[in-house]
Amino acid sequence: MAENKTKSTNANVEAYIASRANEQQAMDCLLLMALFEEITKQPAKMWGPSIVGYGSYCYTYGSGRTGEAPLAGFAIRGRELVVYLICEGSTIDLLPKLGKHRMTKSCLYFRRLSDLDTSILEQLVSNSIATLKGMYG
């Protein structure tokens, strides 16, 4: 079985942001860091080369594959920021209230944090963490 590529590292979060973010993204990343630290009560930690993660959980898929991943996290992806979320059930109803974004299966993309209602983002992240804890303990 292939080894997981996304693992917790000792890389410096601030150095990652400085190397990848434009000025607006850097400011938004600082705000996201404060939001995620408040929600998770965990410090920021790099996961792989490009994910700023908070906390962790262990998972086992139906295939038997196991691993560890951050409970919450974000990354800089070109001109966009991405927040990693599990968004299902009634949580989906929050998305139209969030602001200018696009959502894929587990990635919430946006250009500027000011385009979003941060109280809704906070609910989405909190709900995602609760879902992950419910699924994986």
Computed over every residue of the chain, the mean pLDDT equals 94
CATH number at residue 57: 3.90.1150.200
Domain of 90, in residue numbers: 13-136
Flag whether the pTM goes above 0.85.
Answer: yes
Number of domains composing the chain: 1
Cβ-based neighbours of 84, under 8 Å, separated by 6 or more? 51, 70, 72, 73, 74, 75, 106, 107, 108, 128
pLDDT tens digits, one per residue of 6-34: 889 999 999 999 999 999 999 999 999 99
Q: Has residue 8 been placed in a domain?
A: no
